[in-house]
Structure 1
Amino acid sequence: MIHNAFSPSSKTYLFVHGAWHGAWCWNKVIPLVQAKEHKAIAVELPGHGPDNGRISQISLNDYVNAVVKTANDQIGPVILVGHSMAGIVIAQAAEKLGSKKVSALIYLDAFLPRNGESLFALVEATLQHLPPHASRKPYLVENIITAEDYQTNWVNPEMAAQIFYHDCSDEDKKFALARISQEPVAPLATPLSLTDEIYGVIPKYFILCTESQDMDKTFLSTHVPCEKVYTLASSHSPFFSMPEKLVEILTELK
């Protein structure tokens, strides 16, 4: 189906992957969004995918600039969709792009920041707000391995499938596990600079994955006011396990 750039109902979605992942995680989502006559682009963050040569030198600004460039290459406003870690990336990118360029921010089981917070600070706050009745799960923070120079980290390969993909097909697990990579630490430790005048006025939506086994993000869904909070009974990777349901939510936003 050919995307009609002049359709009044057509939207442009930019999908930003989370830590240790790449643009490949949106492989099922992109064609489904395009089939609904919207434009859909998966952004490859620096240091991920084929471009992983200088991963230890990557900064949050590098991430943000990649999203900003892709957004500015598009005609008209864009919707930024950030998964997990990419919540901080789309927030800072939106601040840089402005409210005329970014029509909405969608946080897919993602870190939803306030001004001055880093991802590490958000992780700490989330752990402190876990519901007391939460069942013991292999939380991600217990399975992150940090390099000796503290410049990069990665997920314990023996636990990655359970943490990220427990409800995914064996085929999708194999596909993902062959591609997850190291993550630079610097972007995760950098505080964000956000304003009420720009970031604060852009409509935000949160999709909470209620079966996610990396970390319960219920707290994050309330950390910053959102237009609406959706729930999916999925793992942290609904782009693999239930892409159709995910796309239904993404494309119903006005």
Structure 2
Amino acid sequence: MESGSKQRRRQHHFVLVHGACHGAWCWYKVGTLLSSAGHRVTALDMAACGASPGRAEEVPSFEEYSRPLLAAVAGLPPDEKAVLVGHSFGGLNLALAMERYPDRVAVAVFVAAAMPAAGKPMAFVLEQVWQQEHPADRYMDCKFETGGDPQHPVETFRLVPQYLKQRLYQLSPPEDLTLAVAMVRPSQRFQDDATMKGDVLTAERYGAVRRVCVVAEDDATVPAAFQRRMASWNPGTEVMGLQGADHMAMLSKPRELSELLMEIADKYII
């Protein structure tokens, strides 16, 4: 017990990345628990998400959408490596940061997240994820709109209350669903983006970063079995299950997820 207690007192830097249409706000429980345990926490808003200014259709590329994370990792002190934690669509942001800065990442944690495979473009895993969703009413009544430059229209989508309630937050406290309904913003899917379709993640960089897949066992959006399948595309990935977690594991099981994150950091950071 004493040894474990000493390990837990080690301080780590957790960088938290949200999923589509969400923002840094969705980490408020986990961020508080990690900070209270003595760790440094950076919860980021991707471009045009959360409290970030601008509109989704104004974000020109997936790289620009990911810029807040890329800048945060590039700006780490020379002797520091961060624990990157990505949720849902945020797994793709993690993958890009891992490919660009593999030496700055101690371990990457994918929480109910898209986990691309080395040797393939990121668009591949995104297409696979979409195929897992209910085909008959895949997006229910989520709002899809086209805007921006008429010469180069951009499609955005917004998650509506019923979809949030049934697919993402079905096990989360009702007040967190209320928060989400008030806070979610439109987002792009970037399915035709050059970085998504053209850039192949390499085994030498992306594939060399240690990673953990945290499976939300009661996810109604991305089935637990498919979360494990994505992990199997990446040899050496450690898989941990989180029982009773819906897609928003940081809200339905915040304490359990925080404990897992600290356990992972203690294990992978020497």
Moved over 4 A (4+): 136-144
| Counterpart contact for 2:122–2:200, Cα < 8 Å | no
Q: CA deviation at 1:245?
A: 0.2
Which residue identity lines up with residue 263 of structure 2 in the other structure?
E
User: What TM-score do you get using the length of structure 2 for normalisation?
Assistant: 0.80
> Secondary structure of 2:166's partner?
helix
Which residue identity lines up with residue 74 of structure 1 in the other structure?
L
Which residue identity lines up with residue 14 of structure 1 in the other structure?
V
Alpha-carbon separation, structure 2, partners of 1:96 and 1:194? 10
> Secondary structure of 2:162's partner?
coil
Which residue identity lines up with residue 15 of structure 2 in the other structure?
L
Alpha-carbon separation, structure 2, partners of 1:84 and 1:143? 20
Alpha-carbon separation, structure 2, partners of 1:174 and 1:84? 20
Change in 2 beyond 3 A, CA 1:138/1:160:
farther
Runs of at least 5 residues in structure 2 that lack an aligned partner in the other structure: 1-7, 147-152
Deviations 1:8-53 (A, max 9, x none): 9321110000001000000001121122222111011011123352
> Secondary structure of 1:159's partner?
helix
Structure-1 residue corresponding to 2:252: 241
Alignment of 1:95-174 (within 5 A): 95-98=99-102, 100-114=103-117, 115-119=119-123, 121-126=124-129, 141=139, 144-148=142-146, 149-174=153-178
Q: 238, 259, 263: which is aligned to 1:252?
A: 263
Structure-1 residue corresponding to 2:14: 13
Structure-1 residue corresponding to 2:220: 213
Q: CA deviation at 1:77?
A: 0.7
Deviations 1:189-231 (A, max 9, x none): 5234321111111101000111011121332232222431011
Which residue identity lines up with residue 69 of structure 1 in the other structure?
A
Alpha-carbon separation, structure 1, partners of 2:9 and 2:202? 30
| Counterpart contact for 2:14–2:39, Cα < 8 Å | yes
Structure-2 residue corresponding to 1:89: 93
* Greater displacement, 25-34 / 49-58: 49-58
Match status 1:200 vs 2:210: no
| Counterpart contact for 2:82–2:105, Cα < 8 Å | yes
| Counterpart contact for 1:150–1:185, Cα < 8 Å | no
Which residue identity lines up with residue 19 of structure 1 in the other structure?
A
Q: How many residues align?
A: 241
Structure-1 residue corresponding to 2:76: 74
| Counterpart contact for 2:160–2:181, Cα < 8 Å | no
User: What TM-score do you get using the length of structure 1 for normalisation?
Assistant: 0.85
| Counterpart contact for 2:108–2:209, Cα < 8 Å | yes
Which residue identity lines up with residue 9 of structure 1 in the other structure?
R
Alignment of 1:31-50 (within 5 A): 31-50=32-51
Q: CA deviation at 1:156?
A: 3.5
CA RMSD of aligned residues (A): 2.5
Alpha-carbon separation, structure 2, partners of 1:210 and 1:244? 16
Q: CA deviation at 1:127?
A: 6.0
Q: CA deviation at 1:162?
A: 1.3
Alpha-carbon separation, structure 1, partners of 2:241 and 2:136? 21
* Greater displacement, 142-151 / 157-166: 142-151
Which residue identity lines up with residue 55 of structure 1 in the other structure?
A
Q: CA deviation at 1:172?
A: 1.1
Alpha-carbon separation, structure 2, partners of 1:188 and 1:252? 37
Of Structure 1 and Structure 2, the greater helix share is in 2
Alpha-carbon separation, structure 2, partners of 1:252 and 1:66? 26
Give me the identity figure in percent.
24
Q: 224, 234, 244: which is aligned to 2:234?
A: 224
Alpha-carbon separation, structure 2, partners of 1:25 and 1:137? 27
